[in-house]
């Protein structure tokens, strides 16, 4: 680009580039190459390389927006929320799926004038009620408010709070969902428009399932779109969620942000103790994760507890970002005192309780061992898939699909000359071939993109056919086209990030560092990008319906 557009770049009033030196998408290498090209062409620019990654980088705007020659950039609060939500959805699709269900199963964050209901209509009553649900759920789940950028202005106090992990939380959660279900039932469904009726039915379905699950199975945790039978495992519990949340989601741009970080850090021990209490109570009833899962969780707690408090990630995350934002204060010392005096003792208590519970755990991973386990599995399956299929039916479907796919793979492998051994062994052999690796140099990014580009083009053509229906009113067709352009913009803009992530470094027996296998890229890029989660995020965030319509 510099070679072909150097003259135009030289005419810019300002050219500013920044990147993190440990950017998880490897953008730092591209940024450095760009800067070297700019220097060779003697093009005036400014390059900043920060000691961080690709997440939580709003603090950099203090530098970039202040570069001489730039005009001030202003965003409306509503548009800023949408932009921040889109950025987070693109960067972390798992966060998008989890939180879009959490918030959007309750309300419309932003509705266009076209989608607004007539004053005094049942549609307007429904929209107002869903907005009320949103406010209530943000009060119950302050971490979600931060993750979606909704913890400012009237909700600023939420930035200093954590979610409720106490033993009373499930009871309160059940009561609030029952209340919402009852209030939603007062809406006259017959008087709703077609679209509003779909919104109402989706939220009603979700609330009904949450109430039924929480009431019948008083153990584990039932959240907005997941249900786990265990309060402590390698995937559940604040010990594994809160540190990551504070580091990657809680912003540190102003002094108030840093103070809110310390307030949340001070609440972390209480969350740990609440989980420890729940773990002991569940263990007494025989509700324990399998031994290998507990082993992983116990090991992670021990790792979280290791080392001096002053060097802990919970401390350095705050001190580093506060320094980068130029915030005066003894942040490291204050955070270190909380970790040493409160967090570490709570982690010790949880480690002891989990180790004691481990002695009673078995190697049986099935939930049939739990109270009413067969019914729990069936209910959880229906809740997380939204279909009423028996576990045996789903298992049979899975086996049939594995058999069908394995047969197709077997044919393809034989065409490649792989005829001996199981399908899995032959796939592994194929993936180890030298020609399946991209070289670890400055060309690997371009080669990855070029490898996937033909598939993206074919998929793009298919998506255009799906998103522009034939023989429909012009207004519907235009809306579909506009939505396609929006989704296509965000999806294609982010494909290079996912190819960068796909190039996960591996080490061969010779010790030579190589990048990801080309045979894995098509599946990964289709699943994560087009027509997968990036497309899903774009369409949902651009749409005019409650976010539950895109989360389920």
State mean pLDDT over 198-211: 89
∠ CA 191-195-197, nearest 5°, is 45
pLDDT band per the 50, 70, 90 thresholds, residue 540:
low
511 token code pair: 């010790």
Rounded distance between C-alpha atoms, residue 499 and residue 529, angstroms? 10
Report pLDDT for 368: 87
| Better-scored residue on pLDDT, 258 or 105 | 258
pLDDT > 70 fraction of the chain, expressed in percent and rounded:
70
- Reduce the DSSP state of residue 305 to 3 states and report it: helix
State mean pLDDT over 172-196: 92
| Better-scored residue on pLDDT, 241 or 495 | 241
Q: 517 phi and psi, to 5 degrees?
A: -75, 140
What are the pLDDT digits (tens) for 68-84?
Answer: 554 433 434 444 444 44
24 token code pair: 């998880």
Is the model's pLDDT at 341 over the cut of 90?
A: yes
Report pLDDT for 64: 66
Is the model's pLDDT at 366 over the cut of 80?
A: yes
Q: Are 20 and 28 in contact (CB under 8 A)?
A: yes
State mean pLDDT over 334-355: 96
Report pLDDT for 517: 60
Residue 277 burial (CB < 10 Å; 0-12/13-18/19+)? middle
Q: Are 251 and 57 in contact (CB under 8 A)?
A: no
How many C-beta neighbours within 10 Å does residue 162 have?
23
- Reduce the DSSP state of residue 227 to 3 states and report it: strand
What are the pLDDT digits (tens) for 488-524?
Answer: 444 444 444 444 444 433 323 333 334 456 677 777 7
Is the model's pLDDT at 400 over the cut of 50?
A: yes
Report pLDDT for 456: 74
Is the model's pLDDT at 466 over the cut of 70?
A: no
Alpha-helix runs per DSSP H in 73-121: 77-91, 93-104
State mean pLDDT over 334-351: 96
What is the distance, to the nearest Å, from the Cα of residue 490 to the centroid of all Cα atoms in its chain?
Answer: 16
Most confident range (mean pLDDT) of 92-106, 426-440, 458-472 is 426-440
pLDDT-wise least confident of 89-103, 215-229, 280-294:
89-103
∠ CA 242-244-249, nearest 5°, is 95
Q: Are 41 and 6 in contact (CB under 8 A)?
A: yes
Report pLDDT for 121: 83
381 token code pair: 């399956």
What are the pLDDT digits (tens) for 122-180?
Answer: 888 998 898 899 889 889 989 988 887 788 888 899 999 999 988 888 888 889 999 99
Q: What is the DSSP string of 491-502?
A: HHHHHHHHHHHH
Q: Are 383 and 227 in contact (CB under 8 A)?
A: yes
Rounded distance between C-alpha atoms, residue 131 and residue 110, angstroms? 10
- Tokens 């180890």 sit on residue: 432
Is the model's pLDDT at 203 over the cut of 60?
A: yes
Q: What is the pTM of this model?
A: 0.64
How many C-beta neighbours within 10 Å does residue 349 have?
15
């Amino acid at each position: 680009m510099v070679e072909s557009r150097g003259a135009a770049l030289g005419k810019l009033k300002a050219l500013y580039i920044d990147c993190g030196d440990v950017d998880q998408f490897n953008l730092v290498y591209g940024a450095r190459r760009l800067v070297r090209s700019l220097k060779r062409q003697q093009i005036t620019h400014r390059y900043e390389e920060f000691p961080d990654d690709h997440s939580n980088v709003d603090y950099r705007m203090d530098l970039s927006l202040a570069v001489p020659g730039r005009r001030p950039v202003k965003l409306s609060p509503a548009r800023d929320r949408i932009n921040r939500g889109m950025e987070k959805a693109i960067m972390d699709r798992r966060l998008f799926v989890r939180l879009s269900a959490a918030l959007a199963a309750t309300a419309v964050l932003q509705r266009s004038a076209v989608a607004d209901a007539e004053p005094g209509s049942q549609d307007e009553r429904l929209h107002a009620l869903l907005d009320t649900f949103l406010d209530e759920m943000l009060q119950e789940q302050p971490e979600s408010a931060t993750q979606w950028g909704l913890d400012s202005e009237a909700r600023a106090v939420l930035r200093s709070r954590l979610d409720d992990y106490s033993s009373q939380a499930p009871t309160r959660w059940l009561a609030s969902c029952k209340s919402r279900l009852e209030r939603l039932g007062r809406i006259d469904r017959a008087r709703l428009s077609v679209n509003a009726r779909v919104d109402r039915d989706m939220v009603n379905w979700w609330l009904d399932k949450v109430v039924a699950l929480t009431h019948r199975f008083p153990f584990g945790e039932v959240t907005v779109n997941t249900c786990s039978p265990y309060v402590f495992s390698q995937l559940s519990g604040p010990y594994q969620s809160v540190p990551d949340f504070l580091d990657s989601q809680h912003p540190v741009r102003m002094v108030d942000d840093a103070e809110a970080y310390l307030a949340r850090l001070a609440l972390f021990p209480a969350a740990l103790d609440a989980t420890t209490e729940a773990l002991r109570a569940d263990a007494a009833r025989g509700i324990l994760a399998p031994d290998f899962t507990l082993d992983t969780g116990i090991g992670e707690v021990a790792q979280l507890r290791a080392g001096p408090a002053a060097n802990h990630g919970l401390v350095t995350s705050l001190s580093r970002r506060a320094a980068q934002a130029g915030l005066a204060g003894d942040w490291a010392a204050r955070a270190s005192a909380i970790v040493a005096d409160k967090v570490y003792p709570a982690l010790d208590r949880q480690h002891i309780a989990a180790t004691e519970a481990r002695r009673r755990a078995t190697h049986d991973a099935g939930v049939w061992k739990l109270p009413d386990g067969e019914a729990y599995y069936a209910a959880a399956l229906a809740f997380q898939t939204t279909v009423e299929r028996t576990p045996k039916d789903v298992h049979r479907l899975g086996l049939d699909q594995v058999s069908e796919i394995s047969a197709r793979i077997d044919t393809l492998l034989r065409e490649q000359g792989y005829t001996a051994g199981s399908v899995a062994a032959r796939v592994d052999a194929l993936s180890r071939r030298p020609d399946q690796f991209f070289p670890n140099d400055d060309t690997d990014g371009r080669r990855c993109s070029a490898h996937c580009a033909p598939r993206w083009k074919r998929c793009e053509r298919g998506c255009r056919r799906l998103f522009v229906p034939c023989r429909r009113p012009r207004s519907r067709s235009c809306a579909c086209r506009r939505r396609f352009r929006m989704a296509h913009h965000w999806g294609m803009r982010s494909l290079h990030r996912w190819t960068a992530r796909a190039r996960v470094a591996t080490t061969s027996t010779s010790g030579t560092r190589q990048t990801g296998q080309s045979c894995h890229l098509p599946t990964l890029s289709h699943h994560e990008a087009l027509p997968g989660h990036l497309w899903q995020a774009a369409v949902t965030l651009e749409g005019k319906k409650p976010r539950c319509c895109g989360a389920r």
